[in-house]
Amino acid sequence: MLILLKINKMIDYLNKRLSVLKINKIYLRLVKIYLFFFGEKNLGDIGFDFKNKPSRIEIVNRIIKLQNYSKYLEIGTFKDELFSKVICNNKVGVDPFSGGSHRMTSDEFFLSNKNKFDCIFIDGLHHYSQVKKDIKNSIEILEHKGVILIHDCLPNNLLEQQVPRMTTNWNGDVWKAFVECRTKVDLDCYTCNADWGIGVIFKRKNSNLLKIDQQDFKKMKFKFFFNNYKRLMNIVEFEDLLKKF
């Protein structure tokens, strides 16, 4: 009898999960229909190709070694795809679900954290408002001559940057938060042309200040990114990026 009860509970749980998935699929279909008729038109792919570019693992480890960094923070560790492979004396990884060393949200971590870091990798929730907060909080705890890296800054098409998520390969609208940083006089920002686009922020005078007429960066359209991504993102190859340190 006890076994049957457990089986019934498991079946009930699975049915609930399946119903949620069905609702999500219906919702995503409705969003796609809305975008087709009332939203931005799909402009196709920009053409980013990261196949022969260095991975974020190689990029992070080379920067840490080059700069002799000793304190690393990762926001959004998920399954430790990066965190477990980073070579650094002191590592802190934050994620509410899996991986890393701290099981909490980035907001909770920044509220309680007392330490500073040399290298901070942001790969948490890929929504403009959250990325903006993670960048702001990271700047406040960044060591002198440290660096902030932001994953998924170069979406290839409209759906890959759409919020809510609709595709397997998903960048979200991280790019909007990065573009906003490029308009700050005290932040020097570049995008490394590798691994879905890695935004790079130095806390120093901006060497290539972006001037655009934009008050609310969250409202920027993908069409604007599609037509101006080179100017907006300040894209550099990895070897050229290393010269910026």
Residues 179-218 pLDDT 10s: 999 999 999 999 999 999 999 999 999 999 999 999 999 9
What integer is the mean pLDDT of 210-235? 96
Q: What is the pLDDT of residue 134?
A: 98
Quickly tell me which residue has 């700047």 as its tokens: 139
Q: Measured over all CA atoms, what is the biggest interatomic distance in the chain, rounded to whole angstroms?
A: 72
Check: CB of residue 197 under 8 Å from CB of residue 152: yes
**What does the pLDDT read at residue 164?**
86
Classified as helix, coil or strand, 66 is helix
Decide if pLDDT at 104 tops 90.
yes
pLDDT band at 28 (very low <50, low <70, confident <90, very high): low
Per-residue model confidence (pLDDT) at position 208: 96
Encoding tokens for residue 237?
């190859």
pLDDT attached to residue 221: 95
Residues 175 and 233: beta-carbon distance below 8 Å = yes
Question: What's residue 24's pLDDT?
Answer: 66
pTM: 0.87
Is it the case that residue 20 has pLDDT exceeding 50? no
**Would you give the distance in Å from CA 180 to the centre of its chain?**
14
Is the pLDDT score of 108 beyond 60?
A: yes
Band (pLDDT 50/70/90 cuts) for residue 166 is confident
35-46 residues labelled b (16+ CB within 10 A) or e (exposed): beeeeeeeeeeb
Task: Decide if 151 contacts 56 (C-beta within 8 A).
Answer: yes
pLDDT band at 167 (very low <50, low <70, confident <90, very high): confident
34-38, 42-46, 75-79, 156-160: range with lowest mean pLDDT:
34-38
Task: Give 12's pLDDT tier (boundaries 50, 70, 90).
Answer: low
